[in-house]
Structure 1
Amino acid sequence: MGAAQPSAWHSRGLGGGHASCYDIDQHEGARPDASGPVPPGRHPGRDRGRSIDGGGDQRRTGSDGEHGDLAGDARVLRRHLHRRRLRSVRLRDRRVRLVKKSWPLYLATIGGALAIATVIGTFFVTKVTVIPETSPPILNFAQKIFYFHVPVALTSFIMFGVTFVAGILFLVKKKKAYDVLGYVSAEVAVLFAVLTMITGILWTRAEWGVWWTWEPRLTTYFILLLLMGGYFMLRTSVEDPNRRARFSAVYGIIAFLDVPISFLSIRLIQSVHPVVFSRQGAHMESDMLATFIIGMVAMTSFGVGLLAIRYREEHAKEELEHLKNLLGS
């Protein structure tokens, strides 16, 4: 017999019948059921379950496409919800800012409307009180002034108290805002004090038959009104802003001392002025007390609203003057 033909391994020039690792890997990588070599990127063990015609790849591609569409729809939905949430937050913030800017006007409007409703309901809607002892009967409209007069007077005391507190805070902290607060609260206090004097004079004329009497409450309250007039004269006479603020704070503190004197005067000194509230409580029936409380809420709301409006106006004026000074320098 002729010489044996060299095997495929020897024909590659490797000799000794030993194959290299490279050749063994190539040999093991060949699939007996495939017509050609393994394509790049494919693994025989991993891809054994796939068909030769690529049907499995097509099915997987279709599933991935469906998942991709769902993921895209989810992203679109999330973006849509995020935009709606942002619009809702912006709208809520805009409403909150509007309320913060406009609450003084709302409060003053509500208080004024309640005050007008109280006056109309007291004088023109509810039944008037008739004094049976007199002949002919006298319509006791003077008694109904009480529902307007007392809330106005108490609101003026509250505003004087704000002037007092603002003066102390300015002297302690030296902030311009407290000077502005003291000034505008004094304005509102004087407004309510004038209304108190007018309604009090009308009540005095109807009940006592005179326009004025020098009894303790009227006298001390009139002195308080004069003191607050001096407050504004002081502010207009001092040109230096720092000195004006300091002097006004001290003057407002001193002027406020007349408030407790006026409030306690008819309780400490015998007077013809009626006492509405004493240690025994309110000297009025439940219907009268309810009407009085409504009037008190109305006047207090109206006063606080006016105070806030005037404070913002004066604060804006101060800022404008400061900007003018900066531009001028």
Structure 2
Amino acid sequence: MSNNNEFIYGRGAQLNVSNRFDAHNHEFRDDFLNHCATEGDEVQNSKTVLIDTFSKSIVNKVTSPDVGMGFSLNPYQGCEHGCIYCYARNSHEYWGFSAGLDFEQKILVKRNAVQLLEKKISGKKWEAAPIVLSGNTDCYQPIEKKLKITRQLLETFLKYKHPVGIITKNALVQRDMDVLRELAADNLVHVNLSVTSLEEKTRRILEPRTASIKKRLETIEKLSRANIPVSVMMAPIIPAINSHEIMPLVKEVSERGALGVGYTIVRLNGSIGAIFTDWIRKTMPDRADKVLNQIESVHGGSLNDSRFGTRMKGEGEFADQVKQQFKIARAKYLKGRERPLLNCDLHEKFKDGQMKLF
């Protein structure tokens, strides 16, 4: 764990917390920190490192009753976007890394993702069901611009006429509009854009390496105009940070063509509680206690909430207020809109990658 108080710009987490699976912890001693300050050296390397992995499987069955997906696929583990609140941070500990800075700096790349997907969905026992890209970490994070694994995955879904969902907060999804249009023509794709705030200043401190708000709103509009179904996730809602933006945000994305809006309320499970607490005391010291206390009020007096049924939406007065605001906002700005169900009927005819005549 780092005791360094220097703010790290361009990153969300400001420290590496201890990995719960490690028997030993480490920290930076004052004499080392003083030496770095004197010599002008970095306390720790801030560069992003790519680590190649070769998984045995790529499609994950989702058993949580709180998540609206049956299967997910993540071509990358770790995420350079650096969203301070991200629930996926805890999963980096299973790889032997910290949920803090390591999550943003050490990105695991599943090099054989496309081959594994093709093997899975062409298998005789597989029955078509929507597979969601980015159930854990963003499939359009910065490195995707170079590696194009997500694009190859989408081309594979198109080849086999298989339904796919996408969750992202990166405008890079616009790059793949050609493939998305073809998928949408057969009702095989739905895109969820994550928009947490309309205020760029808030976006920069919450999600330092994500696409700008302007770019995300532009992306919603372009996808909608191309007849690619697009919805928005306002996730998470954080008390006293973006909770006042519900009505204006729903209004704005509805005008851009969004078919629906979903939300979650922030929960700080596992190591994320310590990471978020350290971050907010450095970035918003004047309101840190207020924010942390209100988060606790939503989750039974704790930052940590793992209870199915309540962990995503919370409980209590604040949670009820959020629920009511979304009900009003949807009725006012999204009335009559609904996203079409993804088509699971075509895949069986294309199980070998081409249309079966008989």
- TM-score normalised by the chain length of structure 1: 0.22
Higher share of residues assigned strand: 2
Higher share of residues assigned helix: 1
Q: Identify the structure with bigger relative contact order (alpha carbons < 8 Å, sequence gap 6+).
A: 1
- TM-score normalised by the chain length of structure 2: 0.20
